[in-house]
Structure 1
């Protein structure tokens, strides 16, 4: 199977996914196998929240739209052009996927297949329906992929390398268990925003997208703010008001009530707007429905700290005044070259 054929299969998948949106699904005539998959995919999206209460239709549709936008011929070509994929000896790569947000493991799956290897996939119980469905679509488009994609619930066996994603605790297990295999082991990471106090309302509203998308469950979600000394949170809270409806989701509301109660019983000083608590804390990882912050006097000290602690950081968000920062509002819209933990997955796969 050639790289051109593989890219065509994923391009067709992108066209298929482009039909689905929260506002309205719109079936297109030039999409392959709609008769087999279109209505079933709508049904799967509608059922997603029964499989995982965090996977509301809004969140699943958002994830689907991001992959529809990414899987174009131009994007795939621009991503892969710097790699030599013509002399790969096919290996079997085990994928242990997370399930914190919809289709969170799709990039690893895509990377394995386009690099010419075979994917042996162990899904998270929290997200075990969406990717297999997309796998079936790919096989319908390109039947040769049937021998290169395997989903299993059994113990992983007969593989040559592994990409595993989990918590810091499970990462220690992975590192020991897979010590004799080439591997990428991903641990907990968090994203931060560095504010200067000069942000516009639009920028702060966009920051809310980075905070609330997927209810804050992703490693690319902002969970920590660095703010200048004596920062006035008024404008921040005014911007966050755009996301007030998040409190109507039961699981989010339960977390808000619980974490707020814990903070108050512990006599922690918090700021609160009835759907988000803001707490001064040195940690990067804040609980759901809360965001931590720290004051700074010199922004250069913040940048130096983030560089020193880069293994704990997934994204740094800020305005154009902050070197190399991701603009507000797009942390959950990574490109194909935006690798998790800044580890080039394709380069790894070419060396196994």
Structure 2
């Protein structure tokens, strides 16, 4: 039996548990509900709706079929001694570090995780559940508050600034260091209303805080934004989240005082800007002349881009509405985490 199989079974049980929770929330889940309440109290961006969305995506992924199909592509060595893998987790969206934990454990290694202060309660709860299903994991999962020490390799996720810090401290060990990335969408003007509504999901899910959220759109010359604004109007309630509203008010005020030309519908500011990473409650856009030239340009800038969304969804692109529904083999920054771990 390959070393990862007992652990894989524990994740399948976790997937079933998450499915039951998302579909049949009742008194038997009181401790999990309390955990969700604490997560929202700790981080105002983590609304129950968004946490449930994240849990539901994982419940769909953690099936025996999905895990087996994913793992079948890799060569697992039974006799490899477990190595300690330090994981520095981000906390921008709920459970954003879960995939790294999954990869480390399935590769037969040990997790030494430093949680983000913004996401400190959800992952330990799920880890406790996994340990209940497979006691072996009690020796394979450790969370630390302090400095990462005594590890064999590291996976660290942060900003461009923290990335330089990570490279300084972790550069001598095998590592995956992730920095800022943004997601973009290509519009042609031929999108249906349902496609533009789906794009709204890519923009507004998690309030736009994820690297897979669309923060920039490319539109053809002469593009009329009326259809876009009409389609995303269904997301208007986002403005009732006070943290989002504060960002909307601030960024709109900054743009107006700076005499930038903007478009505005009361909850989303559109600004023409060559950058990829727009602030919360704003969306950058640029105009293009040729789709071929645009895709060539984006190819040259691929190190800044997490997802490209389009109606055509050419190779490597994502269809509208699916940016926050990654597959198990959708690796952050395009680096195969599991292969990295198996080569250690």
Equivalent residues of 1:20, 1:61 under 8 A apart: no
1:46-104 Cα offsets, whole Å, 9 max, x none, are: 23221100000000000010111110000000110010113433100000000000000
CA distance in 2, matches of 1:300, 1:56: 40
Which aligned pairs between 1:1-352 and structure 2 lie closer than 5 A? 2-21=3-22, 25-26=24-25, 38-87=29-78, 88-320=80-312, 322-352=314-344
Change in Cα spacing, 1:275 to 1:177, as seen in structure 2 (3 Å) is same
1:247-290 Cα offsets, whole Å, 9 max, x none, are: 00000000000000000000000000000000000000000000
Change in Cα spacing, 1:121 to 1:324, as seen in structure 2 (3 Å) is closer
SS of 1:20's partner is: helix
Change in Cα spacing, 1:4 to 1:246, as seen in structure 2 (3 Å) is same
SS of 2:323's partner is: coil
CA distance in 1, matches of 2:313, 2:122: 39
Equivalent residues of 2:3, 2:76 under 8 A apart: no
Change in Cα spacing, 1:288 to 1:91, as seen in structure 2 (3 Å) is same
Change in Cα spacing, 1:325 to 1:9, as seen in structure 2 (3 Å) is same
- The number of equivalent residue pairs is 342
Equivalent residues of 1:93, 1:117 under 8 A apart: yes
SS of 2:177's partner is: strand
Equivalent residues of 2:39, 2:120 under 8 A apart: no
Q: CA RMSD in A?
A: 1.3
- When normalised by structure 2's length, the TM-score is 0.97
- When normalised by structure 1's length, the TM-score is 0.95
SS of 2:149's partner is: coil
Equivalent residues of 2:311, 2:319 under 8 A apart: yes
Equivalent residues of 2:313, 2:319 under 8 A apart: no
1:320 Cα deviation after fit: 1.8
Change in Cα spacing, 1:121 to 1:15, as seen in structure 2 (3 Å) is same
1:85-144 Cα offsets, whole Å, 9 max, x none, are: 134331000000000000000000000000000000000000010000100001111111
1:321 Cα deviation after fit: 6.4
Task: State the match for 1:30 in structure 2.
Answer: none
1:155 Cα deviation after fit: 1.2
CA distance in 1, matches of 2:296, 2:5: 43
1:187-245 Cα offsets, whole Å, 9 max, x none, are: 00000000011000000000000000000000000000000001000000000101000
CA distance in 2, matches of 1:240, 1:49: 26
1:310-340 Cα offsets, whole Å, 9 max, x none, are: 0000000001265542100010000101000
CA distance in 1, matches of 2:25, 2:35: 16
Change in Cα spacing, 1:117 to 1:321, as seen in structure 2 (3 Å) is closer
CA distance in 2, matches of 1:232, 1:339: 35
